[in-house]
């Protein structure tokens, strides 16, 4: 028997803002609230193949690069078009030491959490 990744928890300063941003990025919906936590995920809800994300409020702002980051892939457009969409949603390019020769784009969400936009298009 093994485990399966079911949810990710991201401590953040503004769960409302980040849940809206990541819902737009991933095509997720808000699944619920518990105290100050906001859980988002696919419309099918918790327990499916795609993990949900819980945004948990903390008082302090992000101070260092994340030790774990998300990678996302475009599903209905190429990487350049998806990069434009993510930038319009509030993502911004960030530098974590990349050379510029990578096939992925390094971005940060509105709170500065790093994530990568990979090149390979996935099926929906």
Domain map of the chain by residue range? 1-59, 66-124
Which residues are 71's β-sheet partners? 116
Q: What topology is assigned to 66-124 in CATH?
A: 3.30.720
- The number of residues in the chain equals 124
Q: Evaluate the CA torsion angle 40, 24, 107, 100 in order and state its sign.
A: positive
Quick: pLDDT tens for 75-94. 999 999 999 999 999 999 99
CA–CA gap between residue 17 and residue 5 (Å, rounded): 24
**3-state percent helix, strand, coil for the chain, nearest multiple of 5:** 20, 30, 50
CATH fit for domain 1-59, picks 3.20.20.70, 3.40.190.10, 3.40.1440.10, 3.10.180.10: 3.10.180.10
pTM of the model: 0.91
pLDDT tens, position by position, 1-57: 689 899 999 999 999 999 999 999 999 999 999 999 999 999 999 888 899 999 999
Q: Lowest mean pLDDT: which of 27-31, 58-62, 72-76, 102-106?
A: 58-62
CA separation for the pair 92, 39 (Å, rounded) = 23
38-56 in b/e form (b: 16+ CB < 10 A) is bbbbbeeeeeeeeebbbbe
């Amino acid at each position: 028997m093994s485990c399966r990744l079911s949810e990710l928890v991201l401590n953040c300063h503004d769960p409302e803002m980040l849940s809206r941003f990541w819902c737009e990025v991933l095509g997720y919906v808000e699944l619920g609230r518990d105290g100050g936590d906001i859980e988002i995920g696919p419309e099918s809800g918790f327990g499916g193949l795609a993990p949900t994300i819980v945004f948990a409020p903390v008082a302090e702002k992000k101070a260092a690069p994340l030790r774990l980051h998300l990678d996302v892939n475009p599903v209905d457009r190429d990487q350049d078009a998806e990069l434009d969409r993510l930038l319009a949603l509030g993502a911004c390019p960030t530098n974590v030491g990349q050379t510029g020769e990578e096939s992925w784009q390094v971005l940060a969400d509105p709170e500065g959490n790093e994530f990568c936009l990979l090149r390979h298009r996935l099926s929906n």
